[in-house]
Each structure stands twice: as C-alpha cells, then as structure tokens.
Amino acid sequence: MSATPPLAAPLPRGRHAAPRQVVWESQRGRMLAAMATAVGEKGYAEVAVADVISRAGVSRKTFYEQFANKQDCFLAAYDAGVETILAAIDEAIASAAPEPVAIATAGTRCYLETLAGSPTFARTFLVEVHAAGTEALARRAGVHERFATQLAEIHRAACGQAPDWPELPPHMFRACVGAIHELVTDHVIRRGAATLPDLLQPILDIERALLLAPSPSGG
C-alpha cells in the first residue's frame, strides 16, 4: 500500500463530465501526490508551485483555489499520507492474532512496508518535514502522539493478558516512538526507504524492551 495520496484517473469531459466535487477531489489528490513526490525527490526547499502543477496536470489558478501557498499544500499532503499510514496500521493490528507480540509485529511490519512501498513519501514524511517550518514540526509532534497512542493500546492488550505486567506512564510510549523514528529516519537517509522492512526485528527489540517486558517482580 502506498502512503502517498494516489493519483486520480483521468476524468471524462463534455456531456459526461464528472460532477464539480469529483473534479475538485481528483485535482486535489493529484496535487497532494505531486507535492509529496516532488519534495521526496528534490527536497522541500527546492520545490516550487510550478513543480506541483506540472506533475499534477492542473493550472496555477486551480492550485491557488485550493491552497494558499506551497507550505499549505505540503501540510495537506503530509496529513493525507499520515492518515493512510495510521489507517493501514489499524487494519493490520485488527487482523493480527489477539496476542501482544503478534499485534506489535503486525503493526510494525505494516508501518515499515507502507513506507518502503512509497520511498519518495517516506523521505518527505521523515526527513523533509524538518525543512517545512514550525507548523510542519507541530504536525510531526501530533503524529508522534498518535503513534504513541497506538502503542499504548497494544500495551493495554498485553496487560489484559498478563496481569503481572506493569502499567506504564505516557512518556514511555513517546520515548518508544522517538527511538523508532530515529532508527527509521537514519535508515532512510543512509540506505533509502526500500529496505526499511529490514528494521522489523530491531524495532521489535525496542518495543519489547520498553513496553512488552514483564515487571521484575513478575519474573
């Protein structure tokens, strides 16, 4: 599954033209995908609105009907990609065996494979967001909170099956997200996104050590 908003199919013209809302959504989807791809390939600082409209096949007028500027489009593309990733992880977790390690494995594998399936967005999501200003960094912090919430839900499932496991404070889940993010970002910078699934076991080791280990008193 690609984390980048998918390009819409060409729409019919003339008598069979699509309704205005469908056209609007198609144009928006193409522009978000174009932004995410262009930033992943060129870097945020080097991307111009012209890059987006050229790749998306829309006019400059259409771009400014939907976005205030380049940053506005970038933030929308970032948000759309995040929603795709989180939805994919939720689906993977829901389909996993009802056992803490299986749930953690399914969610982690899905995260890595989704990013690996869209290398340009992976770079946009993990690396180029730092160049997009304070609002982008605020969005990034919010995403980390949401990932931490997912980890907390996995841990609650573990506690339900193993009462001797300790309850953990929220900062433990944020710390785990930070550790995972550091590993994944470093991998993308040094080796690219295509081999991100290689990090499955190292990330599971981190999750197990920080979140899934039983308390000392429990043996």
Same domain, 203 and 168: yes
Same domain, 75 and 132: yes
Same domain, 79 and 57: no
Question: What is the Cβ-side half-sphere exposure of residue 187, based on CA atoms within 13 angstroms?
Answer: 21
Domain harbouring 209, CATH code: 1.10.357.10
H helices present in 4-128, as ranges? 20-42, 49-56, 60-66, 70-95, 100-116, 119-126
Same domain, 123 and 196: yes
Nearest-angstrom CA–CA distance, 135 and 176 = 23
Same domain, 29 and 96: no
Contact predicate 209/193, CB 8 Å: no
> For residue 104, how far is the Cα from the chain centroid?
17
Q: Taking the model in full, what pTM does it have?
A: 0.82
Residue-by-residue pLDDT tens, the chain, 219 positions:
343 444 344 544 555 556 777 777 889 999 999 999 999 999 999 999 999 999 999 999 999 999 999 999 999 999 999 999 989 998 998 898 878 788 889 999 999 999 999 999 999 999 999 999 999 999 999 999 999 998 888 777 766 665 566 778 999 999 999 999 999 999 999 999 999 999 999 999 998 888 876 544 444
Same domain, 53 and 75: no
Single out the residue in 24, 45, 66 at which a domain terminates: 66
Same domain, 56 and 74: no
Same domain, 62 and 75: no
Same domain, 142 and 38: no
Q: Is 1 inside a domain boundary?
A: no
Instruction: Give me the domain span that covers residue 202.
Output: 70-214
Q: Is 3 inside a domain boundary?
A: no
Domain harbouring 57, CATH code: 1.10.10
Counting the structural domains of the chain, the total is: 2
Enumerate residues 6+ apart whose C-beta is below 8 A from 125: 3, 78, 81, 82, 85, 115
What is the greatest pairwise CA distance in the chain?
A: 73
What are the CA-CA distances from residue 138 to residues 44, 111, 142, 145, 161 (Å)? 17, 21, 6, 11, 36
Both structure tokens of 71: 């940053």
Nearest-angstrom CA–CA distance, 5 and 167 = 37
Q: Is 196 inside a domain boundary?
A: yes
CB atoms within 10 A of CB 99: 12
Same domain, 57 and 86: no
Q: Is 8 inside a domain boundary?
A: no
> For residue 176, how far is the Cα from the chain centroid?
16
